[in-house]
Structure 1
Amino acid sequence: MKTHDLKKLAAILSESDQYRVTEKYQKPEFYNTDDASNKLIGVFLDIEATGLSHSNDKLIELGMVKFEYTEDGPIFRLLDEFSGYQDPNIPIPEYITKLTGITDEAVRSRQISEVEVAEYLQNVDLIIAHNAQFDRAFFEMTFPSVPAKAWGCSMYDVNWSVEDISSHKLEYIAYKYGFFYEGHRAVIDCLAGIHILAQSLLNSQELVLKQLLTNALAVRFKLYATNSPYESKDLLKARGYRWSMNQNYKYRAWSIELTEDKVAEEINYLRSNVYGGSSVNIRVEIFDAYSRFSNNGQHDPLKYRDKLDRFQTLCLG
């Protein structure tokens, strides 16, 4: 059946509420053609690895795709791609091969040049990944000398649930936007991710990339409710706290990540509902897009000294 016949059939099916038609991803020539003078360069990055632990598993594939964008959210042209295999020097688990199609033979003796990765990223303003916590950890472990860049996350920096998208999986989000692709290969995952960033959110109609930029570039406070009473754990969990470890000082506590405008309200909540006193003795990490999602301890304690001082004042009541 010819392409135009398939399109006619798809249009007929789409008119009925009994069917939902999705199209196979096709790489566009461009998204917008406006000749904006203030264009920035972004990169969507995706990593395939032998498992989920950056300390025990190894990167086996790196894909990156550059694109032009402006601060108000439009995406313009897709630029050059970067793709490479890395030999992990351990057998690739069978389930990873089934998931990605990457075999031991495909990666044998292959190495990704750290110098070439650094050169590729030299003029890049922002790296975006879908689950940046995973990708940045493997990236930094594999390429430790590459200069730090600002990072954003298309999973956590977009409020998908408010847009009636219940799953954060990239393939499911693509389905909600009416297209599908062959997932779990690095470059095609990047292209699909950029395609989603170029769309408008389903309910708010804000550009996806615009919301991501707003959230990714905000200064964030991670509050650790240290020494909180055991009986407060359900309250904290219901409020969005997670039991986690501080990577710099190696202690565990209930923690929550907030933008600066919500910190004072949260301290008042802890004072009234958890600690029951006039002062609140909790710890905080302050970070931005350069240090967020990093496991390298790149938090600069002096960079936000004024914000830290204000935080301490709020805690004292």
Structure 2
Amino acid sequence: MQHEDIENLATILNNSGHYRVTKKYQRPEYYNTGDEDDKMIAVFLDIETTGLSYTQDKLIELGMVKFEYNRHGSIFRLLGDFSGYQDPGIPITEYITELTGVNDDMVKGQKIQENAVANYLQDVDLIIAHNAQFDRTFLETTFPSLPPKAWGCLMYDVDWDKEGISSRKLEYIAYKFGFFHEGHRAINDCLAGVHLLAQQLPKSQVPVLKELLTQSKAIRFKLYAVNSPYDSKELLKARGYRWSMSQNDKYRAWSIELNEDKVAEEINYLRSNIYNTSSINIPVEIFDAYSRFSSTNNKSNNHVKYRDKLEWFQKLCTS
């Protein structure tokens, strides 16, 4: 059967309403053409590790794919790739090998040079990962001297629930957009991530990258409901709070991350429904695209950078 016949058959099956056909990802030569002057360079990054803890586990594979984009969310050419293995100095467990496809023989004696990573990222305006909280912390721990870059997250900077996509797993989102890719390779996940960014969201019809750009640029306030009554736990969980530790490790508390336009409403909610007092003491961390998801202590600089916003927040808590 010829390729054209297969394509026609896939179209017939999809249009029947009884089948859903997904296509294998094929790397395109480009997504859009044009000579726009405002083109920038982003990179999609994916990391495989020996476990989930960036303080205890080690990076074993790094994949990155550069691409051109503009502020409207259009993607143009795919640029050069970067791929490398890193010997963690400890045996890779069978579970991790099954999960990542990386085994001891593949990483033995391998080392990713920090200057090579820095050179590759030199002209990059934005780093995107599917789960930036995970990937950024491992990248910074493994290569602590990399210059700061703005970050975006495909998992959390797009409201997939609002778009009718119930899971944030990369493979599932790809399936909902009608394609699949060979997983267990960091570079393949990067290419799939860029391909998703080039699509339009099913309900809002906004380019995925455009939505990510909008959300990643937003100033974020992370509120910690310290000393909240124990019986308020379910109320906080239902509102989207998660149990977490502050950036400076001073306390654990229920926390929520909000855009600036939601902060005043949340303070009023906490005052009326959780603490039942007019004046409340709510610690806050303020993030931007350069500090969000980071494991380093430079986030504390945001309290100087955004001093006016911090003062505004404190007035909300005491007024």
Please give the range of the TM-score, normalised by the shorter of the 2 chains: over 0.9
User: Once the two structures are superposed, what CA deviation does each residue of 1:252-279 show, in whole Å capped at 9, x if it has no partner?
Assistant: 0111000111111111111111111111
Amino acid at match of 2:173: I
Q: CA deviation at 1:286?
A: 0.5
Residue number in structure 1 paired with 2:298: 298
Note the 1:96-245 alignment, pairs <5 A: 96-245=96-245
Q: 2:185 & 2:226 partners in 1: Cα distance?
A: 41
Q: CA deviation at 1:12?
A: 2.2
Q: CA deviation at 1:118?
A: 0.4
Q: CA deviation at 1:57?
A: 1.1
Residue number in structure 2 paired with 1:247: 247
Over 4 Å off, 4+ runs:
none
Q: 2:229 & 2:159 partners in 1: Cα distance?
A: 31
Q: Which stretch shifts more, 246-255 or 285-294? A: 246-255
1:19 aligns with 2:19: yes
User: Once the two structures are superposed, what CA deviation does each residue of 1:155-207 show, in whole Å capped at 9, x if it has no partner?
Assistant: 00000011111110111111111111111211110000000000100001011
Alignment TM-score, normalising by the size of structure 2: 0.97
Structure 2 residue runs without a partner (length 5+): none
Q: CA deviation at 1:64?
A: 0.3
Amino acid at match of 2:315: T
Residue number in structure 2 paired with 1:289: 289
Q: 1:249 & 1:192 partners in 2: Cα distance?
A: 35
Q: 1:297 & 1:196 partners in 2: Cα distance?
A: 32
User: Once the two structures are superposed, what CA deviation does each residue of 1:47-81 show, in whole Å capped at 9, x if it has no partner?
Assistant: 01111111121111000000111111111111111
Q: 2:279 & 2:249 partners in 1: Cα distance?
A: 23
Alignment TM-score, normalising by the size of structure 1: 0.98
Q: Which stretch shifts more, 90-99 or 213-222? A: 90-99
Aligned-residue CA RMSD (Å): 0.9
Residue number in structure 2 paired with 1:90: 90
Q: CA deviation at 1:99?
A: 2.4
Residue number in structure 1 paired with 2:256: 256
Note the 1:71-90 alignment, pairs <5 A: 71-90=71-90
Aligned-residue sequence identity (percent) comes to 69
Amino acid at match of 1:73: G
Q: 1:49 & 1:37 partners in 2: Cα distance?
A: 38
- The DSSP-based 3-state class of the residue aligned with 2:223 is strand
Count of paired positions: 317
- The DSSP-based 3-state class of the residue aligned with 1:15 is helix
